[in-house]
């Protein structure tokens, strides 16, 4: 599937996202009822990601909201964070989905380099990010709702011509 687009978060999208539940060990990515306020806060830069049919496929955030507590974020890269709906994971859509988030950051937010933080157990996602040209910047122990976890910070420059996935 391709053709993802980002749009402003609304109440219905925010509510749906807080109900998503991921299988272990991916429950790290579960939000909770009550997190709608966070998703709707305009200062936090959350966006809904829709598929080509306008169906909610995930969400993205940018800047400090995409950072994991404990990481080193001391350069000019724009941090990006995102999550696909649980029923869409593992179906080969990750490259197009992340590609859409990257293109949005470059075109709408005038970003240069991008950085993401990913839990080291999430090998499937790390492989997608590497195929998209992200490279390991550093490892760190981050603090989450689930306690301390090992993360990798990965970065990519702004050369969109080399993104292998169309949107």
Q: Which domains does the chain have, with CATH numbers?
A: 5-162 (3.40.630.30)
- pLDDT for 164 beyond 80: no
Average pLDDT over residues 31-56: 91
Which pLDDT tens digit goes with each residue over 71-115?
888 778 999 999 999 999 989 999 999 999 999 999 999 899 999
Cis peptide before 25 (omega within 30 of 0): yes
> For residues 43 and 133, which has the higher predicted lDDT (pLDDT)?
133
Mean pLDDT of the chain: 89
- Percentage of the chain exceeding pLDDT 90: 68
Is the Cα dihedral 35, 127, 143, 138 positive or negative? negative
> For residues 116 and 3, which has the higher predicted lDDT (pLDDT)?
116
Separation in Å, CA 73 to CA 66, 77, 157:
11, 8, 16
């Amino acid at each position: 599937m391709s053709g993802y687009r980002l749009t402003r978060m609304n109440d219905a999208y925010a509510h749906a996202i807080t109900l998503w539940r991921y299988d272990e060990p991916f429950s790290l990515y579960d939000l909770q009822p009550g997190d709608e306020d966070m998703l709707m806060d305009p200062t936090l830069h959350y966006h809904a990601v829709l598929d080509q049919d306008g169906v909610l496929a995930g969400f993205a955030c940018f800047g400090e909201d995409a950072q994991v507590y404990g990481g080193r974020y001391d350069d000019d890269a724009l941090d990006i964070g995102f999550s696909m709906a649980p029923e869409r994971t593992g179906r080969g859509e990750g490259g197009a989905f992340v590609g859409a988030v990257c293109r949005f950051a470059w075109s709408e937010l005038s970003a240069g380099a991008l950085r993401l933080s990913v839990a080291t157990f999430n090998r499937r996602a790390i492989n997608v990010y590497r195929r998209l040209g992200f490279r390991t910047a550093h490892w760190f122990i981050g603090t989450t709702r689930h306690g301390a976890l090992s993360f990798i910070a990965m970065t990519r420059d702004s050369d969109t011509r080399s993104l292998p996935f169309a949107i």
